A and B are shown apart, each in its own frame.
Chain A
Amino acid sequence: VNLALKELRRRPGRFGVATVILTLIAVLLMFLGGLLDGLTAGNTGAIRAQQAGLIVYSSTSQDSLVRSRIEPEQRRQVAGVEGVSEVGELGSVQLGSRIEGKGPRDLVPVVLFGYQDASSGLPTPPGQPGRAWADDTLKAEGVEPGDTIRIGPARSPVEVVGFVNDTRYAGQGTLWASLGTWRRIQNENRPDARVAPGVSQALVVQAAETDDPPGLAERIDEATGGLTSSLTEGEAIDALPGERNALNNTQLRPVEVPELRRSILYIEGEPRWEYKFMRRAVADDEDLVIATLLRVSPNKFYRQGIDNPEELEGGFPTTADELFRYDALIIGSVEAASLTPAQQQLIRDFVSERGGSLLMIAGPNGLGNGGWGQSALADVLPVLLPPTTTDSFHRLKVPARLTPQGQASQVLRFAADNTANRDAWLELPEVADYQVLGNVKPAAITLLNADTQDGLLPLMVLQPYGRGHAYVLATGGTWRWQMSMPLEDLKHEIFWRQLLRAMVASAPETVSLAAAGGQEGGSIALRAEFRDDAFAPMDDIGVRLVASHESGEALTIAMLPDTAEAGVFAGELLPPGSGTWYFEAVAERNGEPVAVARTSLLHESGAAEHFKIRRDTGTLERLAAATGGRYFEPGTLDGVHDLLRYSSSGITETEYRPIWNAPAVFLLLLFLKAGEWLLRRRWSTI
């Protein structure tokens, strides 16, 4: 002992290095172990918190809580099995949640559980609906007792009554509520996976003390006729799904946010509520500029929202350059006769040639009353307006109703869920007035109806015309939505912002470049369009396109004029690899660049199948049939050997593998070599 200690004392540096290395190894091992324990705890806490003898899933669920459904009859059968002392139901739903104090898009993923008293590792479920215990890790997100968390797209409110410890599930914080609260939130937010009263996802079974859980599990599954799969707590933890395919966790898509602001011209014939409220609704939208011409006396207009004193100085634009700088045009309660035939033709060209959007709003002097049905714009409009001889404008309050097409439209969406959106429209106050439109044209789509005493009449109609779109809104009374609802309700603002944004979004720029395709080995199609300030096609130019890969590689692509469409040039690129491609098309006249269009595209090769990981039986069967093969289901592979033996393909493939792929042979060789070496040592031949 003295010898060892003396050496240690005399040469501390020599042993210090080994001690430091061992310290680092020990810390690394314990850190990795702690990390693994933390990960495991974060995935399994909810199951461990049940402190259950058994957890019962439906037999078809592959022991997955999300896929499992337990009917009330099965619950009764399980409760009647000898050795079962207590049965509780369990349900879960994973959703994004909004927490007080965070931004509306700052979602926190949570799993909301519904449970009963049988979950003995948890406190008694909150008695009042809409209340829940929260996992204490949600404290890090700023959650405090008394806070209301809004869950899912329906923003279902849940009030936090306190915290529970070590109950995370699938790496997410959890909320623990009554079964009724879980069913309500599941049905509000996951209409595709609604649960009926009495139905749960799993049963938490407490066994009598004398009973062994594996034996009880067999008896339970027998009692339900094989409709259940009962697992011990350990088995349930082992069955928790792992990450089978991590390649589909992320999906990259480049989003181009243009810096330009889109402009709208609004001409209104008289000061009225709709004018004021609509302007106010989009006043905070920095991407939209509304320049307005409000007629205050014959031939005298009050201008608002203009960029410079010269803008609209002469009233409504009389030239294409002047009008086509706007992306959309709104015509309110103003007669067609107040514009010259040339101006009406200009508006028609604005929609058909420039590709702008036109919105006509109802009013005492608008639509049919204003003589627009007999104007140059009659063809552009999506409805056949009645003649001026009949007063089509009615100051009667009517509710607006979504049509089936309106329900599918993103413009009229107040909630992500269809049911919630329909309910939101049903709750809207009536509009102040409506105007009879006449027959809807064949290509038009009716998005809203007015529920009048004469039945449903079209209230909002849309049709494409040339390169642009024409909308008709047969009311000037949406301002009542703002006046009759609480100030914090934003439906009026959302309606106008979404409508106006949709109108300007479809209006093309003078130059554009689009890249599409390129999936799974295909080529990227490129289409460039160049027009001058008056939106006339530029057909006296040549176009050169440079494609740059994110790695720095650059290619020049030939862009050829489209023979069917003036000003349009097309080309294609067969991308040599995955990654983001940046395209720049330069229009040149006499060797001088006159316009540039840019775009980008993320090309992913071989990634599509990871986002569709279900077995595609139909494709496999067709592939087998087309190539003279046969399709086998996983359970019927017995015949494969015989099939291969008699295969006429005549292909033999030799595959070389390192020897440790055959461990028995590898160990035998190792043993023989070691034996030879030992024998040589013994015989002193080495």
Chain B
Amino acid sequence: VTGLFFLIITLQKSASLTLLRAVGARSRLLVRSLMLQVVLVIAGGLAVGIALYTPLSQARLGEIKLSFDVGAVVFWSALLLGLGLLSAVVAARRVLAIDPIEATTGEGGR
């Protein structure tokens, strides 16, 4: 979901990214910005998710008692973050594919 989302965003702003590349912005800067956004969005989602689950975990489902296992929460958070960053690589490849020479000639990224 994260990867697809950031791929769409990258496609949507490909004109802006091409322009940035044309004016001399380095690929590393653009990829770093993208990854930072990924980390912030996932961290935000996880923080709100944990905040919502904490009171929920005190509830009982029939005779089954839900549990708030810190280890499990850390595991799922790390897994989501890792998978999110991994899936964002596709979007990052898109950014890297923007050729500054072609950008100046008006062809932009592929």
User: What residues of chain A have their CB less than 8 Å away from a CB belonging to chain B?
Assistant: 1, 3-5, 7-8, 14-15, 17-27, 29-31, 33-35, 37-39, 41-42, 137, 140, 171, 173
Note all chain A residues with C-beta closer than 8 A to B53.
Answer: 26-27, 30-31, 34
Query: A552 to B2, alpha carbons, bound, how many Å?
Result: 48
Partner of A42, one of B56, B63, B76: B63
Alpha-carbon distance A26/B2, docked complex (angstroms): 12
How many angstroms from the CA of A15 to the CA of B44 in the assembled complex? Answer: 10
Is the contact region of chain A dominated by helix, strand, or loop, or is it mixed?
helix
In the complex, chain B residues whose CB is within 8 Å of the CB of A7: 33, 37
- Tell me which residues across on chain B come within 8 A of A8, comparing CB atoms: 37, 40
15 contacts between A and B (CB under 8 A): A3-B30, A7-B37, A8-B37, A8-B40, A18-B1, A20-B45, A22-B41, A22-B46, A22-B84, A26-B50, A30-B49, A33-B69, A33-B72, A37-B72, A38-B64
Within the complex, the shortest CB–CB distance from A84 to chain B, in Å, comes to: 32
Complex Cα gap A71–B45 (Å)? 58
Interface size class of B (residues with CB under 8 A): 35 or more
Is B90 close to A, CB under 8 A? no
Once the chains bind, are A26 and B49 in contact (CB under 8 Å)?
A: yes
Q: When the two chains form their complex, are residues A19 and B48 in contact, meaning their CB atoms are under 8 A apart?
A: yes
Which residues of B line the A interface, CB within 8 A?
1-2, 5-6, 9, 29-30, 32-34, 36-37, 40-42, 44-46, 48-50, 52-53, 56-57, 60-61, 63-69, 72-73, 76-77, 80, 84
The interface residues of chain B lying within 8 Å CB-to-CB of A39 are 64
From residue A18, how far is it (CB to closest CB) to chain B in Å? 5
Q: With A23-B52, A31-B56 given, can you name 6 additional A-B contacts, CB distance below 8 Å?
A: A18-B45, A26-B80, A30-B50, A37-B67, A38-B64, A42-B64
B61 and A26 form a contact (CB under 8 A): no
Whether the Cβ atoms of A34 and B72 lie closer than 8 Å is yes
Report chain B residues within 8 Å CB of A173.
63
Contact check, A22 vs B66: say whether CB atoms are below 8 A apart. Answer: no
Pair B63/A137 contact, Cβ less than 8 Å: yes
Distance, CA A15 to CA B80, complexed state (A): 17
The listed residue with most A CB atoms (<10 A of its CB), out of B44, B60, B69, B73, is B44
Q: Are B33 and A41 in contact (CB under 8 A)?
A: no
Closest to A37 in B: B67
Q: Could you say which residues of chain A place their CB within 8 Å of the CB of B69?
A: 33-34, 37
The CB with the most chain A CB atoms within 10 A, among B34, B44, B48, B49, is that of B49
Chain A nearest Cβ from B57, distance in angstroms: 5
CA distance A672 to B48 in the complex (A): 43
Point out the residues of chain B lying under 8 angstroms from A171, CB to CB.
63-64
Q: Which of A18, A25, A31 has the most CB of B within 10 A?
A: A18
- A38 in complex: contacting residue of B30, B40, B61, CB < 8 Å: B61
- Whole-angstrom distance from the CB of A627 to the nearest CB of chain B? 48
Q: Are A26 and B72 within 8 A (Cβ)?
A: no
Q: B73, A35: Cβ atoms under 8 Å?
A: no
The one of B45, B46, B66 that contacts A31, using a Cβ cutoff of 8 Å: B66
Inter-chain contact A19/B45, CB cutoff 8 Å: yes
Q: Which residues of B contact A19 (CB under 8 A)?
A: 41, 44-45, 48
Are A22 and B37 in touch, CB under 8 angstroms? no
Q: Are B67 and A29 in contact (CB under 8 A)?
A: no
Cβ contacts under 8 Å, B34 to chain A: 4
Bound-state Cα–Cα, A140 to B50, Å: 27
CA distance A3 to B1 in the complex (A): 23
Check A4/B49 contact, CB under 8 A, given A18-B2, A39-B64: no
Contact across chains for A26 and B77 when beta carbons are under 8 A apart: yes
Residues in B with CB closer than 8 Å to A17 are 5
B73 touches A30 (CB 8 A): yes
Query: Which are the 5 A-B pairs with shortest beta-carbon distances?
Result: A22-B45, A26-B49, A4-B33, A34-B66, A4-B36
Q: Complex formed: what's the CA distance from A39 to B61 in Å?
A: 10
Expressed in whole angstroms, the minimum distance between the Cβ of A313 and any Cβ of chain B is 60
How long is the Cα–Cα vector from A33 to B57 in the complex, in angstroms? 10
Contact indicator A41/B67 (Cβ below 8 Å):
yes
**Chain B residues with CB under 8 A of A21:** 1, 5, 45
B45 engages A25 (CB within 8 Å)? yes
A4 CB to nearest B CB, Å:
4
Known: A26-B45, A39-B64. A15 touches B1 (CB 8 A): no
CB nearest to B68 among chain A residues? A34
Kindly provide the distance from the CB of B82 to the nearest chain A CB, expressed in whole angstroms: 13
Which listed residue (A18, A24, A41) contacts B41, Cβ 8 A? A18
| Chain A residues near B44 (CB-CB < 8 A) | 19, 22-23
Q: Given the known A-B contacts A18-B5, A23-B45, are A4 and B37 also in contact in the complex, defined by CB atoms under 8 Å?
A: yes
Find out whether the CB atom of A27 lies under 8 angstroms from the CB atom of B63: no
Q: A1 to B6: give the CA distance in the assembly, Å.
A: 17
Contact (A1, B45) CB under 8 Å given A26-B53, A26-B80, A27-B53: no
Q: Select A22's contact among B30, B49, B57, beta carbons within 8 Å.
A: B49
Bound together, the chains give a CA A22 to CA B63 distance in angstroms of 29
B65:A41 contact, CB within 8 angstroms = yes
A20 — which chain B residues lie within 8 A by C-beta?
45
Q: Give the shortest distance, in Å, between A331 (CB) and chain B (any CB).
A: 55
Q: Which residue of B is nearest A109, CB measured?
A: B63
Q: In the complex, which residues of chain A have a beta carbon less than 8 angstroms from the beta carbon of B30?
A: 3
Q: Which residue of B lies closest to A136 (CB)?
A: B65
Identify B66's interface contact among A1, A3, A4, A38, CB under 8 A: A38
Chain A residues near B6 (CB-CB < 8 A): 18
Chain A residues, CB < 8 A from B80: 22, 25-26, 29
A21 CA / B24 CA spacing, docked (Å): 35
Which residue of chain A has the shortest Cβ distance to B57 in the bound complex? A34
Residues of A within 8 A of B57 (CB): 30, 34
Instruction: List chain B residues, Cβ under 8 A from A33.
Output: 69, 72-73, 76
The distance from the CB of A249 to the nearest CB of chain B, in whole angstroms, is 15
A22 touching B1 in the complex, CB below 8 Å, given contacts A3-B33, A29-B76, A33-B76: yes
A22 touches B42 (CB 8 A): yes
| Option from A15, A34, A137 in Cβ contact (under 8 Å) with B37 | A15
In the complex, what residue of chain A is closest to B66 when comparing beta carbons? A34
Quick check: A23 and B66 within 8 Å, CB to CB?
A: no
CB-defined contacts of A23 to chain B, threshold 8 Å: 44-46, 48-49, 52
A27 in contact with B49 (CB, 8 Å) = yes
Given contacts A18-B41, A23-B45, A26-B77, contact A1 B65 (CB under 8 A): no
Whether A14 and B37, one on each chain, are in contact in the complex, defined by CB atoms closer than 8 angstroms, is no
Bound-state Cα–Cα, A8 to B52, Å: 23
Q: Give complex CA distance A332, B69 in Å.
A: 73
